[in-house]
Chain A
Amino acid sequence: DTAVSQTPKYLVTQMGNDKSIKCEQNLGHDTMYWYKQDSKKFLKIMFSYNNKELIINETVPNRFSPKSPDKAHLNLHINSLELGDSAVYFCASSKTRNYEQYFGPGTRLTVT
């Protein structure tokens, strides 16, 4: 009964490929997020959806495209992968603003 789950856990791919990461939450939350954690453990918000509407879209290359088919799911598609995309990507969810966020276990993306 995992609260926030992500697939895959590890993703190794070559430069130029296109890949997707999936996220699902079973907490009944309205808001979902994508974060990127770099090799120095610095954590940065990328996107957020509230009730399937995009509400946060940080300065992220347009090779990254989020999609929220419903409130419980938020996927991240990455086109033309680059070496600099190597990082751990975390999905999170919350009831709404002011509430704590619940994080998934992360997807470690390695681009070779």
Chain B
Amino acid sequence: AQSVAQPEDQVNVAEGNPLTVKCTYSVSGNPYLFWYVQYPNRGLQFLLKYITGDNLVKGSYGFEAEFNKSQTSFHLKKPSALVSDSALYFCAVRDDPPNDYKLSFGAGTTVTVRA
């Protein structure tokens, strides 16, 4: 089965500094990778996805992610973090057929951006 790992439970950055949230994946076929964000007491919101094509994927709210096949990573990045980016971030991977409707999520990384 496909899986993702988020090695950091928490990431703390100062406002205006670059933000990186790490994700590594393990797949048997082509990776279909996603990033979601969850604000307190809210549902998850889609940020971006990688299916094929450019290794640098741009998403919502100024976020982007870099797909690296050799390092099996899909790190989420933002050049200049805002206090409002403080939230819980999930990396997810799609399963292979015939279970390809299923997403498996990482454990989540809590991001705190201090003013």
Contact = CB atoms under 8 A, between A and B. Distances in A.
B43 A103 contact: yes
A111 B100 CA distance: 33
Contacts of A104: 43
A56 B101 contact: yes
Chief secondary structure at chain B's binding surface? strand
Interface stretch (B19-27, B68-76, B78-86, B103-111): B103-111
Chain B, interface size: which category? 20 to 34
Interface string A46-72: 001010000110000000000000000
Nearest to B44: A103
A90 B44 CA distance: 9
B64 to A, nearest CB: 16
Contact of B46 (A48, A55, A100): A100
Chain A, interface size: which category? 20 to 34
Given A105-B42, A106-B43, A97 B107 contact: no
Given A42-B107, A48-B101, A56-B102, A4 B43 contact: yes
A101 B45 contact: no
Given A42-B107, A42-B108, A98-B51, A56 B45 contact: no
A102 B46 contact: yes
A92 B38 CA distance: 14
B87 to A, nearest CB: 11
A74 to B, nearest CB: 13
Nearest to A100: B46
B21 to A, nearest CB: 14
A104 B44 CA distance: 8
A89 to B, nearest CB: 11
Contacts of A86: none
A45 B43 CA distance: 14
B44 A55 contact: no
Contact of A97 (B41, B100, B104): B100
Interface of A: 4, 31, 40-45, 48, 50, 55-56, 90, 92, 96-98, 100-106
